[in-house]
């Protein structure tokens, strides 16, 4: 797996490089601005892009815009966007085009190396990863939405993991329940929230995120 990293802070950029390389990812290019990122991607044609959201010159959403452009022109490229703060709308924008092979994580997740590298691997293999704090914020914001008040505690746990991009088998392992039980909980969540039924892990992530952010 070949990757390009975009991060304006040299120490963080070096740290990311070492972390990814420790997980078997070859870092073939680095960038300090969004424009440099686009140039590096065009030149190196990596399978993975890891970028900060806030990049020079305005330090607002240059990295996100570059990530969206990369996904538009190179949809097979996995993209992991890192942020220092929780921005629900950024997560939604990133997922809108195609949630497969896309991740949105807070920078603090890098400290947990095994979990971070596991998330990177899942994204590189077409999975979807949303930071748990982003999901928790959406759930808290939508706590009084019709439907959420009617779901059970276990269904809420399943819903949170669904929104974070976990598959049924992964949810079963994390909650120590059978995959059949997960399917039943997911079906109940669909019915209660009025979500469109989908067996596609990526599409159901998008459906849940849209519901929580409405």
Q: Find, among 9, 128, 34, the residue nearest to 79 by Cα.
A: 128
What CATH number corresponds to the domain at position 72?
Answer: 3.40.50.2300
pLDDT over threshold 70, residue 146: no
* Mean pLDDT, rounded, for 73-100: 88
pLDDT over threshold 90, residue 21: yes
* Mean pLDDT, rounded, for 71-90: 90
* Mean pLDDT, rounded, for 50-66: 93
Distance CA 207, CA 205 (A): 5
Residues 96, 200 share a domain: no
Residues 7, 91 share a domain: yes
Highest mean pLDDT among 19-23, 83-87, 189-193: 19-23
Domain boundary, last residue among 130, 146, 171: 130
pTM of the predicted structure, to 2 decimals: 0.88
Tell me the percentage of the chain whose pLDDT exceeds 90.
Answer: 67
Residues 185, 89 share a domain: no
| Predicted pLDDT at 90 | 84
pLDDT over threshold 80, residue 97: no
Residues 60, 162 share a domain: no
Please give the residue range of the domain that contains residue 82: 2-130
Tell me the percentage of the chain whose pLDDT exceeds 70.
Answer: 100
Domain boundary, last residue among 99, 130, 161: 130
Residues 148, 114 share a domain: no
Q: Work out the pLDDT band at 50, boundaries 50, 70, 90.
A: very high
Residues 148, 121 share a domain: no
Q: Find, among 77, 185, 175, 66, the residue nearest to 123 by Cα.
A: 77
Residues 125, 99 share a domain: yes
Angle at 18 between CA 17 and CA 22, to 5 degrees: 120
What is the number of domains present in the chain? 2
Residues 57, 19 share a domain: yes
Domain boundary, last residue among 60, 95, 130: 130
| Predicted pLDDT at 83 | 92
| Predicted pLDDT at 13 | 94
Q: Of how many residues is the chain composed?
A: 214
| Predicted pLDDT at 127 | 92
Is residue 80 within 8 A of residue 120, CB to CB? The reply is yes
**Higher pLDDT among residues 171 and 97, named by residue:** 171
* Mean pLDDT, rounded, for 145-157: 87
pLDDT over threshold 80, residue 44: yes
Give the helix/strand (H/E) hosting 58.
none
Average pLDDT, the chain: 91
Residues 110, 83 share a domain: yes
Residues 122, 156 share a domain: no
| Predicted pLDDT at 204 | 87
Residues 125, 182 share a domain: no
pLDDT tens digits, 182-199? 999 999 999 988 888 877
Instruction: Establish whether the linkage from the previous residue to 120 is cis, with ω within 30° of 0.
Output: no
Residues 141, 118 share a domain: no
């Amino acid at each position: 797996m070949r990757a390009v990293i975009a991060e304006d802070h040299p120490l963080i950029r070096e740290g990311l490089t070492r972390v990814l390389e420790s997980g078997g990812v070859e870092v073939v290019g680095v960038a300090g601005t969004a424009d440099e990122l686009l140039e590096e991607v065009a030149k190196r044609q990596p399978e993975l892009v890891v970028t900060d959201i806030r990049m020079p010159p305005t330090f607002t959403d240059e990295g996100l815009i570059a990530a969206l452009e990369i996904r538009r022109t190179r949809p097979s490229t996995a993209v992991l966007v890192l942020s220092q703060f929780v921005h629900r709308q950024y997560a939604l924008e990133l997922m809108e085009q195609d949630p497969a092979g896309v991740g949105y994580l807070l920078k603090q997740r890098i400290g947990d190396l095994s979990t971070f590298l596991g998330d990177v691997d899942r994204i590189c293999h077409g999975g979807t990863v949303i930071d748990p704090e982003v999901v928790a914020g959406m759930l808290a914001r939508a706590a009084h939405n019709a439907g959420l008040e009617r779901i059970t505690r276990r269904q809420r746990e399943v819903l949170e993991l669904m929104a974070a991009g976990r598959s049924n088998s992964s949810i079963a392992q994390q909650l120590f329940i059978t995959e059949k039980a997960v399917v039943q909980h997911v079906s109940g969540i669909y019915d209660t929230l009025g979500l469109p039924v989908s067996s596609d892990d990526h599409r159901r992530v998008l459906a849940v995120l849209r519901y929580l952010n409405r």
